[in-house]
Amino acid sequence: MSERARSLARPATLALIVGAGLWAWAAVALWQSTELPSLDLPHLDPHSFFSDSFLHRSATYERFLAILGLLGLVTVIAVLVVYARHGHRLVRESAAGRVGTGMLLAMLGFAVVWLAEVPFGLVALWWQRRYDVSHQGYLPHLLNSFLGLGSQFVFLCLGIGIAMGLAGVMRRWWWLAVVPAFVALAALFSFVSPYLIPDTSSIDNPALVAEARALERIEGAPHARLREQEVHRFTDAPNAEALGLGPTSTVVLWDTLLRDGFSREEIRLVLAHEVGHLAHHDPLKRLGWLALFLLPAWGLVALFTRRRGGFAQPEAVPVAILVLVAFQLLATPLLNVTIRRQEAAADWAALQATHEPATEKAVMRKLATKSLSDPDPPFWAYAFYENHPTIMQRIEMAQAWEDQRP
């Protein structure tokens, strides 16, 4: 290496070391911002809460879906490898300009990924219908999946266009500027996401609304919109979620939770869990984790696209898509760890707000039974697929809370 090359490499190496230190400091701070007491969870036997037949049936059901998911991921990566090797040839057929061609290649790559996933999605739906977890038809499933691409295409095009524009102006450190732009887009999407959920309506149950307002005061959460989503045509599984930012903060309850045998106390506990997410500002914290994981992801994009002239060139877009998808798959277990911590903290907040550990255990049993969830899945499936604590871990947390307050 020449002396000039060494002199240029030293500041870059120092900058990367300092950046890695700041990244680690931010990750630790963000991790600690989700407060969760150190708990020694008791080891409870799943057979004490679920029948042998249910444990066998749920394990069989979820094992098939987990293996199918792995096969789907391998197929997607294989398809993207082929696209990364040959997709740049399509540049010659485009007259859309540098950035426009890159956006078209990104959309084409995204469409290829969707097509590769379609067969696995149909098989998964067949399996869910076989076990009576889903009632959705195959054609509506395909139509919903296709129509759902719209907002994702818009997000992808904006992101790729901004990234290519920055790469054209900032030749070396453009990828650092891309991350704030993507986080801003994600924040915009999170802000408007409550309005993009289909088949929702206001909850006009005065007692339930009063419960929500009381829980907001207890847990210190901002005022949130309360919505009901109609899903019973597609599934019997109950669910709820908290989403939105600031004035769009919303708690969505599925109608299968409100109308399918859950008691008022059980619904209140689920509501307390979702209010806990808003009290802990979890939607905002997830944007922080997104920023932290985008930094190394786009750094790798900058590294691997050099042979195609850098990300400023449209020929590099297929390679960039492969790198981003592969990094996402590798980072998924780590991201799941951060989300599981937030979910555990929301469970603890619900117990603190309601003082009803028995209700928590009952809710967990019903959630598992109606969704056919394996209460104690194998570790590999838990690490890669589960962004919530297992059903048994959540029951054990309720027991730990009860043991601390006899």
**Banded model confidence at residue 8, pLDDT cuts 50, 70, 90:** very low
pTM comes to 0.89
What token pair was written down for 37? 């007491």
Using alpha carbons, select from 365, 368, 359 the residue that is nearest to residue 269.
Answer: 359
Which residues, in sequence order, are CB contacts of 151 under 8 Å at separation 6+?
189, 196
CB 182 within 8 A of CB 148: no
Residue listed under structure tokens 């045998």: 261
Q: What is the Cα–Cα distance from 250 to 238, expressed in whole angstroms?
A: 17
CB atoms near residue 285 (< 10 Å): 19
Strands 240-243 and 200-202: unpaired
pLDDT per position as a tens digit, 366-382: 999 999 999 999 999 89
Least confident of 61-65, 97-101, 293-297: 97-101
Q: What's residue 166's pLDDT?
A: 87
DSSP 33-64: HS-----------GGGTS-HHHHHHHHHHHHH
Residue type, 252: V
CB atoms near residue 60 (< 10 Å): 12
**Banded model confidence at residue 243, pLDDT cuts 50, 70, 90:** very high
> Does residue 195 surpass a pLDDT of 80?
yes
CB 391 within 8 A of CB 364: yes
Q: Which residues of 248-275 are buried (b: 16+ CB within 10 A; e: fewer)?
A: bbbbbbbbbbbeeebeeebbbbbbbbbb
Least confident of 28-42, 141-155, 364-378, 390-404: 141-155
CB 46 within 8 A of CB 55: yes
Using alpha carbons, list the distances in angstroms from residue 389 to 11, 67, 129, 376, 381.
43, 20, 25, 10, 12
Least confident of 3-12, 230-239, 376-385: 3-12
Least confident of 67-76, 134-143, 209-218, 372-381: 134-143
Q: What is the Cα–Cα distance from 165 to 310, expressed in whole angstroms?
A: 12
Mean pLDDT of 19-42: 89
CA 258-263-268 angle, to 5 degrees, is 75
Question: Helix %, strand %, coil % for the chain, to 5?
Answer: 75, 5, 20
Which residues, in sequence order, are CB contacts of 49 under 8 Å at separation 6+?
361, 365, 375, 392, 395
- Total count of residues recorded for the chain: 406
> Does residue 5 surpass a pLDDT of 60?
no
Mean pLDDT of 206-224: 93
pLDDT per position as a tens digit, 80-139: 999 998 877 777 666 667 788 888 888 888 888 888 999 999 999 999 999 999 888 889
> Does residue 57 surpass a pLDDT of 50?
yes
Q: What is the Cα–Cα distance from 326 to 193, expressed in whole angstroms?
A: 26
The rounded Cα 307 to chain-centroid distance in angstroms is 32
335 vs 4, which has greater pLDDT? 335
Mean pLDDT of 269-293: 95
Q: What is the Cα–Cα distance from 95 to 114, expressed in whole angstroms?
A: 25
> Does residue 66 surpass a pLDDT of 80?
yes
Burial of 98 (0-12, 13-18, 19+ CB in 10 A): middle
- The gap between the terminal CA atoms of the chain, to the nearest Å, is 69
CB 240 within 8 A of CB 346: no
Mean pLDDT of 223-227: 93
Q: What is the Cα–Cα distance from 217 to 222, expressed in whole angstroms?
A: 8
